[in-house]
Structure 1
Amino acid sequence: MAVLPKTFVPLAVGGAVAVLLVVGGGAWWMDKQHYEKTDNAFIAADKVSVAPQVDGYVAEVLVGDNQQVAAGQVLVRLDTAPLKAALAQAEANAAALDAAVRAVDDKARLEQAMIAQKAAGVASAHAQSQLAQAELARYGTLAGQGWVSPQRAQTAKATASQASAGVEQAKATLEAERRAAQSLGSSRAQTLAQAQAAHAVVEQARINLDRAEIKAPVAGVVGARAVRPGQYVRPGSALMSVVPVQHAYIVANFKETQVARLKIGQPVTIHADAFGKQAFTGKVDSFAPATGSEFALIPVENAVGNFTKIAQRLPVKIVVDPNSPLAGALRPGLSVEVKVDVTADTGPSFAQAVPAAQLARTGVSR
Structure 2
Amino acid sequence: MMLTRKKSALLLALAAAGIALAGYGYYWWHTARFMPSTDDAYVGADISAISAKVSGYIHTIAVQDNAQVKQGDLLVQLDNRDYLAAVEQASGEVAAQQAALSDIAATRQLQLATIAGAHASLLAAQAVTQKTTSDQRRYTLLASSAAVSQQIRDHAQADYHQAIAEESKTRADKTVAERQLQVLDARELQAKAALTKAQAGLAMAKLNLEYTEIRAPFAGVVGNRRAWSGSFVSSGTQLLSLVPSHGLWIDANFKESQLANMQPGQAAHIVADVLPGRTFSGHVASLSPATGSRFSILPAENATGNFTKIVQRVPVRIVLEGDDAALGLLRPGLSVTVTVDERSAR
By the TM > 0.5 criterion, same fold?
yes
Give per-residue Cα distances to partners, 1:92-119, cap 9 Å, x unaligned: 1111111011111111111111111111
Counterpart Cα distance in 1 of 2:222 and 2:326: 19
1:70-149 alignment to 2 at 5 Å?
A: 70-149=70-149
Once the 2 structures are TM-superposed, how far is the Cα of residue 46 of structure 1 from its aligned partner?
Answer: 0.6
Counterpart Cα distance in 1 of 2:154 and 2:274: 123
- Give the 3 Å change call, closer, same or farther, for CA 145–17 of structure 1 in structure 2: same
Give per-residue Cα distances to partners, 1:119-141, cap 9 Å, x unaligned: 11111111111111111111111
Once the 2 structures are TM-superposed, how far is the Cα of residue 16 of structure 1 from its aligned partner?
Answer: 6.9
Number of aligned residues:
345
Q: Residue type matched to 1:29 in 2?
A: W
Match for residue 180 of structure 1? 180
Match for residue 14 of structure 2? 15
Q: Residue type matched to 1:103 in 2?
A: D
Please state whether the residue corresponding to 2:122 is helix, strand or coil: helix
Q: Residue type matched to 2:251 in 1?
A: V
RMSD of aligned residue pairs (Cα, Å): 2.4
1:316 lines up with 2:282 in the alignment:
no
Match for residue 217 of structure 2? 217
CA contact (8 A) 2:247 2:325 kept: no
Unaligned runs of 5+ in 2: none
Give per-residue Cα distances to partners, 1:230-258, cap 9 Å, x unaligned: 12112211111111142111110111111
- Give the 3 Å change call, closer, same or farther, for CA 42–190 of structure 1 in structure 2: same
% same residue? 38
Match for residue 242 of structure 1? 242
Unaligned runs of 5+ in 1: 347-366
CA contact (8 A) 1:245 1:332 kept: no
Counterpart Cα distance in 1 of 2:138 and 2:97: 61
Larger deviation: 259-268 or 25-34?
A: 25-34
Match for residue 285 of structure 1? 285
Match for residue 208 of structure 1? 208
Match for residue 342 of structure 2? 342
Please state whether the residue corresponding to 2:66 is helix, strand or coil: coil
Give per-residue Cα distances to partners, 1:10-55, cap 9 Å, x unaligned: 9559837954873585377345323101111110001111112111
Please state whether the residue corresponding to 2:2 is helix, strand or coil: coil
Match for residue 192 of structure 1? 192
Q: Residue type matched to 1:150 in 2?
A: Q
Q: Residue type matched to 2:203 in 1?
A: E
Once the 2 structures are TM-superposed, how far is the Cα of residue 311 of structure 1 from its aligned partner?
Answer: 2.4
Please state whether the residue corresponding to 2:328 is helix, strand or coil: helix
- Give the 3 Å change call, closer, same or farther, for CA 205–156 of structure 1 in structure 2: same
Please state whether the residue corresponding to 1:310 is helix, strand or coil: coil
Once the 2 structures are TM-superposed, how far is the Cα of residue 265 of structure 1 from its aligned partner?
Answer: 2.2
Please state whether the residue corresponding to 2:166 is helix, strand or coil: helix
Please state whether the residue corresponding to 2:92 is helix, strand or coil: helix
Counterpart Cα distance in 2 of 1:326 and 1:115: 76
TM-score by length of 1: 0.87
Q: Residue type matched to 2:215 in 1?
A: K
Q: Residue type matched to 1:317 in 2?
A: R
Once the 2 structures are TM-superposed, how far is the Cα of residue 309 of structure 1 from its aligned partner?
Answer: 3.3
TM-score by length of 2: 0.92
Q: Residue type matched to 1:175 in 2?
A: T
Q: Residue type matched to 1:111 in 2?
A: Q
CA contact (8 A) 1:43 1:335 kept: yes
Counterpart Cα distance in 2 of 1:107 and 1:325: 68
